[in-house]
Amino acid sequence: MRELLGKQPTKMVIKLILMSLFVGFMLKILNITPVGLFEWAVETIGHVINISFNSAEKIIGYVVTGAMVVLPIWLFKRITERNREDKIKNAFKDKSNN
């Protein structure tokens, strides 16, 4: 228990009670209840998750749309590079055989 509350547990308990009293008083003035605070936290977390999934959905859509253009160009470039490399290798083989 001393590890959790420190060297003077009684003093720490009194501090915690006074802080709880002050925070409770301020929340009461602001008309905030523990249930309302909890509901707000749950709604906020749900809203953040909803925004995250919507953003992820949009990003995936952008990636798929871009891939429809990029992948065929990349594939064409790879095929033409390979053919060009093969032609260059064959040209050097032909010269070394002569």
Q: How confident is the chain (98 residues) per 10-residue block, as mean pLDDT?
A: 72 92 94 92 94 91 94 90 73 64
Q: Do 41 and 12 fall into the same domain? A: no
10/21 same-domain check: yes
- pLDDT computed for residue 94 by the predictor: 62
Residues 20, 59: one domain? no
Q: What is d(CA 51, CA 11) in angstroms, rounded to the nearest whole number?
A: 45
27, 3: one domain:
yes
CB 5 within 8 A of CB 13: yes
Instruction: Count Cβ atoms within 10 A of the Cβ of residue 49 and give its class: 0-12 exposed, 13-18 middle, 19 or more buried.
Output: exposed
**Maximum C-alpha span of the chain:** 99
The domain of 50 spans 34-98
Number of independent structural domains in the chain = 2
Asked if 21 and 40 sit in the same domain, the reply is: no
Q: Identify whether residues 46 and 19 lie together within a single domain.
A: no
